[in-house]
Amino acid sequence: MDFEDIRERCLGMPGVTEGFPFGEDVLVFKVAGKMFLLTNLATDPVSFNAKCDPERAVELREEYTGVNPGYHMNKQHWNTVSFDGSVTDELAEELIEHSYDLVFSKLTKKAQREIKGED
């Protein structure tokens, strides 16, 4: 998975926007103004930070060398996912969706309906 794959996956979800609020190298994805994923375009190997359920985060960190506490983030709720060979594209896509779902679920019901087009 490369940066463009990550970008396409994120922008394919309802209500997602992208921007560079932390400088020209850090691409941030938000839903309803709430960040759910960010990636530093200057890193090698490719990596991203994503929200994660705290219990699941611990399990993932124990199982995959490419999943670590979120760099410059709340270490309990964020993981840094690096493509070091231990993380498959399928797992990465699952973690992107999980992060989106966590943030989406915290939005107001009104915002959720607007994003889903149910207004």
pLDDT > 90 in the chain, percent: 92
The pTM for the full model equals: 0.94
Q: Are 111 and 118 in contact (CB under 8 A)?
A: no
pLDDT digit string, tens, across residues 78-98: 999 999 999 999 999 999 999
Q: Are 66 and 83 in contact (CB under 8 A)?
A: yes
Name, in order, each residue with C-beta under 8 angstroms of 100's C-beta and a sequence gap of 6 or more: 10, 13, 16, 31, 36, 37
Question: Is the pLDDT assigned to residue 101 strictly greater than 70?
Answer: yes
Question: Is the pLDDT assigned to residue 26 strictly greater than 80?
Answer: yes
Alpha-carbon distance values, 15 to 22, 29, 76 (Å): 21, 10, 26
User: Which domains does the chain carry?
Assistant: 3-107 (3.90.1150.30)
The H or E element spanning position 37 is: strand 34-40
User: First-to-last CA distance in the chain?
Assistant: 35
For the record, the structure tokens of 104 come out as 């989406």
Count the neighbouring beta carbons within 10 Å of the beta carbon of residue 55: 8
